Structure 1
């Protein structure tokens, strides 16, 4: 009996501190997670915009019954800052309604497309500024285990909270209340613009315009950039499945580039020769990219509001001439 009592005491001695540690860890984890959820304004602007699109834009009612053409535009930050849905709709005419679902720093469009579809928002046309990747298989368990960022995001969604909070307080230490209000306004403005967003924070020139002679050492003014379109891709296969299931067409459209960043892209046929699939319909419209003078850019990569309007007008002309909206 004495030995049993000693063994029980030893077991109790290690169980209690372990239980206390687990409880403390869970409490800290829960507190940090609640702080992360409750303080969205301290997150980087790119995260605020992406969260706004996932949590609000695509989960609400995007289209009305009278919308004959229901259009979603996908891409990374170049698309985010270039396509202005309200201006595109006005040019395309009655019955046309579009949304800019471009995400900063993100090239994968299936997650936000599926979120929209699951919420009942079904497009007639999906416009891609970037084609699908060439990865042939979906990520498996081994891929997931090698994806440190994804694992960290699941286990510690608040991992950037200390850094984000410190930066936010430091950068806005003299105007905290105003800064919080500004984040809310920017998010609301993005939602009102149906996803279009001007990245003001990256603009460092007067009137948000690059100088006329602006250039970077990495520019390749004699090189024509290509738009590779992989024939075999898990993303393409899944996209085609969704297109058949929901009945939408897929159109690949140009991106905006600075004049001098690359050579001007040759014109491309937007008619039958540009069809790369019939069922579901997949077409390539126009050149790989449009070239615009530096004055239409706020930074080396992103258009300013004037540049966005010019790009949107060119996109409207391309769409009208494509025959995809009759």
Structure 2
């Protein structure tokens, strides 16, 4: 075998790899372009999450007249339950709040950091779900072991074919109207400073669960205590941000549907506890509020009447703390 034969053998293999790489890149770029240009076909929860991260917190959130600049964090339960305009009116002048709950997400640091980087600095950060108990951030090895995270990072458009087919099937006779509906809902969420009624999961008349509604997974005799880890990478990061930007951290109640968990003792309503003074971190009120099924549109998310009730209870609690006088 002469010296030129190995090179001749390797040439077709190398050429095949290059061709595959080019084709793969072209397909990836095409799908990503379609994903970026067709945001309205995504599920409503995804549209809302992107709108909060890319638009709401990057615009001007507060003005010089806003003495108390408040950001409230949580998951989709908070998204449907807190009406900032009602909260502002109930607490008083100089108070301006935003509902930064994200669908299917309990991590609050990414959206908080996006707001801070855009120059939107709160005086108070309210958490309806405390930080997790992870001792360190995800490293490269953790990402590689997390199939969902790895797939979403490399292929953000992986659900595009299914979403496009579902959108077309559900809106076959009204594609243009459906696109406009998505834009209207997105604009309404931005106008309402983060509050969004998750109507798509409501299957009962009047967006109201029956009074006797229950689920097999309910635990009406179990108190769902709120766990606040003493040590956490997320807590350390949050405390660094609080010290750097000068905001206070308040842990406030979330909520459950009556029958989903056991009622809390009435004495818990007035609870107040400081768990750090530098930066200032305090816990207020009971671990959760409880509301009848009629205030829910589905087993987890409130209807507009429920949102008014939760917002009123949270406003009453915040006023009682004296933190916003």
Q: TM-score range by the shorter chain?
A: over 0.9
Report whether the alignment pairs 1:135 with 2:156.
no
Report whether the alignment pairs 1:120 with 2:116.
no
Compute the displacement of 1:20 (Å).
Answer: 2.0
Q: Deviations over 1:110-142 (max 9, x none)?
A: 111111111111000001000111111222232
- Residue 201 of structure 2 aligns with which residue? 202
- Residue 229 of structure 2 aligns with which residue? 230
* Contact 1:81/1:308 (<8 A) preserved: yes
**C-alpha separation in 1, matches of 2:117 and 2:107:** 17
When residues 269 and 212 of structure 1 are mapped into structure 2, their CA distance, relative to the original with a 3 A threshold, is closer
Matching of residues 235-246 of structure 1 within 5 Å: 235-246=234-245
Residue 97 of structure 2: SS of its match in structure 1?
Answer: strand
Residue 275 of structure 1: SS of its match in structure 2?
Answer: strand
Residue 130 of structure 2: SS of its match in structure 1?
Answer: coil
Compute the displacement of 1:91 (Å).
Answer: 1.2
TM-score, structure 2 normalization? 0.96
Q: Deviations over 1:199-246 (max 9, x none)?
A: 000001111011111111222222221001111111111111111111
TM-score, structure 1 normalization? 0.95
Residue 268 of structure 2: SS of its match in structure 1?
Answer: coil
Residue 169 of structure 2: SS of its match in structure 1?
Answer: helix
* Contact 1:270/1:322 (<8 A) preserved: no
**C-alpha separation in 1, matches of 2:268 and 2:277:** 19
Compute the displacement of 1:22 (Å).
Answer: 1.5
Q: Deviations over 1:26-70 (max 9, x none)?
A: 111111000000000111111111100001001111111111000
**C-alpha separation in 1, matches of 2:213 and 2:12:** 70
* Contact 1:41/1:184 (<8 A) preserved: yes
When residues 137 and 12 of structure 1 are mapped into structure 2, their CA distance, relative to the original with a 3 A threshold, is closer
CA RMSD of aligned residues (A): 1.5
Q: Deviations over 1:231-277 (max 9, x none)?
A: 11111111111111111111111112111211212242656x51111
Matching of residues 230-309 of structure 1 within 5 Å: 230-266=229-265, 267-268=267-268, 270=270, 273-309=272-308
**C-alpha separation in 2, matches of 1:323 and 1:15:** 71
**C-alpha separation in 2, matches of 1:231 and 1:6:** 66
Compute the displacement of 1:9 (Å).
Answer: 4.1
Residue 274 of structure 1: SS of its match in structure 2?
Answer: strand
Matching of residues 99-178 of structure 1 within 5 Å: 99-178=98-177
Q: Deviations over 1:303-326 (max 9, x none)?
A: 100100111011101000011112
- Unpaired runs of 5+ residues, structure 1, are none
Compute the displacement of 1:6 (Å).
Answer: 4.7
* Contact 1:252/1:283 (<8 A) preserved: yes
**C-alpha separation in 1, matches of 2:21 and 2:132:** 42
When residues 24 and 141 of structure 1 are mapped into structure 2, their CA distance, relative to the original with a 3 A threshold, is closer
- Residue 218 of structure 1 aligns with which residue? 217
Residue 66 of structure 2: SS of its match in structure 1?
Answer: coil
**C-alpha separation in 1, matches of 2:304 and 2:203:** 15
**C-alpha separation in 1, matches of 2:59 and 2:280:** 27
**C-alpha separation in 2, matches of 1:269 and 1:284:** 11
**C-alpha separation in 1, matches of 2:262 and 2:16:** 67
Count of residues in correspondence between the two structures: 324
**C-alpha separation in 1, matches of 2:202 and 2:52:** 23
Residue 212 of structure 2: SS of its match in structure 1?
Answer: coil
- Residue 42 of structure 2 aligns with which residue? 43
Moved more, 169-178 or 124-133: 169-178
**C-alpha separation in 2, matches of 1:83 and 1:196:** 6
Q: Deviations over 1:153-183 (max 9, x none)?
A: 2211111111111111111112211111111
